Structure 1
Amino acid sequence: MEKQILDVAIIGGGPAGLNAALMLGRARKNVAVIDDGRARNAVTRETHGFLTRDGVSPGEFRRIAKKEIGAYPSVSFVEDTAVSIEGADGRFAISTAQGNSFVSRKVLFAVGMKDRPLDIPGLAETYGKSAFVCPYCDGWELRDQQLVVIAKGEGAMHFAPLLSGWTKRFTICTNGPDELSEEQREELRRHGIPVFESPIRSIESNAGIVYQVVLEDGTTIPCRGIFFQSELVTGSDLPRSIGCSITEMGAVVVDQFGKTNVPGVYSAGDAASRQYQAVAAAAMGAFTAAAINNELNLEAWKREG
């Protein structure tokens, strides 16, 4: 298949990639958004905290976004998975799982993050229905309910005061040694928060709605919802393969304009930030797209002068 020559290849079609495509389309740049359609937040029913889109499903969000971006003919969408990238600034070669090939002057990784496999029996069945990772996204729906927090150590101490703004009725299950200091345990006791170290035997639910957590020691904890500390990895290995620096948390290292350490390569959204909010990812995509556009325009200005 003949290679398509692009100004920008955007790998990833979530809020960051889509908003970047919108900005670049409006800037008259030739762009392809390469995305396999398997978003991390596809398990959730609703996206929250995004002005004018509060409560929209992830799928509907993408449908609306693509319809709006369709007004700009220089942007195309490729439902595929980018599997390799090589080259350098001005000429990156990208290949996909379906055999498509692209050559692009700049690359934007908006690949997001993905969850490591959920190894607690019953958690996968409730994830996105009654088990969540972010109170800002889903705390309102579980306000004043009896909840279980699955976290340990600093993760538990982060969740406890945060979640208390939505409900005071929650129990912490550390699913093994709590990794708390005695001072931290005393702080939780003062706030009346039970902590159980016994491993979780199962999470029991009806149609994805949890009703109890059962521990190995036989303890049964009734609850209406769960918040848990997920383990994340970068949504694609391509940033690392092209030489991008990666943090210990798995995020692509970028500057304030979304630039990586590799010339011509940018990253935005969850892949390059710990602000895991759809609205934050979209904003980062917009700002990074502006930086890419400025770089492209400056390069053309110098060539033509």
Structure 2
Amino acid sequence: MKEKTNFDVIIIGGSYAGLSAAMSLGRSLREVLIVDSGLPCNRYTPHSHNFITHDGAVPGDIAAKAKSQVLEYRTVAYHQDIALSGQKINTGYQINTRSGKTFQAKKLIFATGVRDIFPAIKGFEESWGKSLIHCPYCHGYEVKGQKTAILANGERAIHVGGLVDNLTKDLTVITRGKADFSEEQWKSLERNRIRVIERDVVEVMHYNGQIKAVLFDDGTHENYDAAYAAIPFEQHCDIPVSLGCELTQAGHLKVDQFHQTNVGGIFAAGDCTSMFRSVANAVSTGNIAGAMVNHQLVQDSF
């Protein structure tokens, strides 16, 4: 049987947002193809939290169960591959993959997440998502009351510090260089008894991802049980921008309240569109994007 290449919708990214969008569309009998690399953004973390009914579950288990349920809908297909490029065609859009496959669809949904850019600090990546974390809502409860560092400077350090201060009183901000705080921010740190260390970090000392200490550039070290870090990111997929989709100042895909980009027929959901990097947000935005794509398909043909 010849492989199907034409669909109503192609969803690029098959983790929580993509699968959620696919379920909305599958329940409306839309012909959907999910193209997924199999490398979700949260593969570093052993447990997912703050997602009701799945609190503490293994992220891969949540995604596997979701995938099995979504693929019960006969109009939804899954193709493990990497989408390399895309172009506008008369009937919608064409997506070309690393394996040499070509698919067409009337609409696109990008649920491709973001790629964290790790600093050149030994042990950083190995600890990421375990005891070196990015989100107090996702992981903060599990390290409450512990001696904690925040690897950030300026406004970002103040933002995280305010959130984490409610979880532990043994807190240190490590600015990795000269501190960049206003007089008011310094007073806030002092008032809340948050120490500031202005030395750079050369190693996160850990055992199987569990932080033991932070080694500074002057050879000294300090013991910690956990740390938060604010690091830069980039879009995991450059196809949306190549098709004319705009980015926000922070680097996310710009979408409206219905998760449509500025390019007609292209939608986006999940981490690639929002600073709120959580399973719950990904599922919610994917659900909305799927429903809105179906609505647009209805408007196009009914």
TM superposition score category, shorter chain reference: over 0.9
Counterparts of 1:198-277 in structure 2, within 5 Å, are 198-277=199-278
Q: Does 1:129 align with 2:134?
A: no
In the TM superposition, what is the alpha-carbon distance from 1:254 to its structure 2 partner?
A: 0.9
1:93 is aligned to 94
1:47 is aligned to 48
2:145 is aligned to 144
In the TM superposition, what is the alpha-carbon distance from 1:183 to its structure 2 partner?
A: 2.4
SS at match of 1:239: helix
In the TM superposition, what is the alpha-carbon distance from 1:3 to its structure 2 partner?
A: 6.1
Aligned mates of 2:60, 2:295 — CA distance in 1: 31
Alpha-carbon contact 1:16-1:286 (below 8 Å) kept: yes
Paired letter, 1:43: Y
Alpha-carbon contact 1:211-1:223 (below 8 Å) kept: yes
Aligned mates of 1:208, 1:69 — CA distance in 2: 33
Counterparts of 1:32-181 in structure 2, within 5 Å, are 32-88=33-89, 90-181=91-182
SS at match of 1:47: coil
Alpha-carbon contact 1:90-1:264 (below 8 Å) kept: no
Aligned mates of 2:76, 2:11 — CA distance in 1: 10
Aligned mates of 1:55, 1:2 — CA distance in 2: 39
SS at match of 2:172: strand
Cα 1:123–1:223 change in 2 (3 A) is: same
Alpha-carbon contact 2:92-2:265 (below 8 Å) kept: no
In the TM superposition, what is the alpha-carbon distance from 1:88 to its structure 2 partner?
A: 4.7
In the TM superposition, what is the alpha-carbon distance from 1:150 to its structure 2 partner?
A: 0.3
In the TM superposition, what is the alpha-carbon distance from 1:201 to its structure 2 partner?
A: 2.3
Aligned mates of 2:271, 2:127 — CA distance in 1: 23
2:19 is aligned to 18
Provide the identity percentage: 35
In the TM superposition, what is the alpha-carbon distance from 1:148 to its structure 2 partner?
A: 0.9
Gaps of 5+ in 2: none
In the TM superposition, what is the alpha-carbon distance from 1:89 to its structure 2 partner?
A: 7.2
SS at match of 2:202: strand
In the TM superposition, what is the alpha-carbon distance from 1:97 to its structure 2 partner?
A: 0.4
Give 4+ residue runs of structure 1 displaced > 3 Å after superposition: none
Cα 1:89–1:52 change in 2 (3 A) is: farther
Q: Does 1:284 align with 2:285?
A: yes
Paired letter, 1:98: S
Gaps of 5+ in 1: none
SS at match of 1:42: coil
Aligned mates of 1:43, 1:208 — CA distance in 2: 10
1:27 is aligned to 28
User: Which stretch of structure 1 is more off in the superposition, 211-220 or 23-32?
Assistant: 211-220
Alpha-carbon contact 2:118-2:231 (below 8 Å) kept: no
Alpha-carbon contact 2:118-2:124 (below 8 Å) kept: no
Aligned mates of 2:173, 2:90 — CA distance in 1: 49
Alpha-carbon contact 1:126-1:210 (below 8 Å) kept: yes
Alpha-carbon contact 1:174-1:196 (below 8 Å) kept: yes
Q: Under a length normalisation based on structure 1, what TM-score does the superposition of the two structures give?
A: 0.95
- Give the aligned length: 301
- Describe the superposition over 1:182-214 as per-residue Cα deviations: whole angstroms up to 9, x where unpaired: 321222112111101111121111121111112
In the TM superposition, what is the alpha-carbon distance from 1:233 to its structure 2 partner?
A: 1.1
Alpha-carbon contact 1:88-1:264 (below 8 Å) kept: no
Cα 1:201–1:283 change in 2 (3 A) is: same
Alpha-carbon contact 1:6-1:105 (below 8 Å) kept: yes
SS at match of 2:42: helix
Q: Under a length normalisation based on structure 2, what TM-score does the superposition of the two structures give?
A: 0.96
In the TM superposition, what is the alpha-carbon distance from 1:2 to its structure 2 partner?
A: 6.1
SS at match of 1:252: coil
Paired letter, 1:292: V
Aligned mates of 2:105, 2:20 — CA distance in 1: 19
Alignment RMSD, CA only?
Answer: 1.4
SS at match of 1:139: helix
Paired letter, 1:276: R
- Describe the superposition over 1:221-248 as per-residue Cα deviations: whole angstroms up to 9, x where unpaired: 2111111102111111111000001112
SS at match of 2:255: coil
Paired letter, 2:73: Y
Aligned mates of 1:220, 1:21 — CA distance in 2: 48
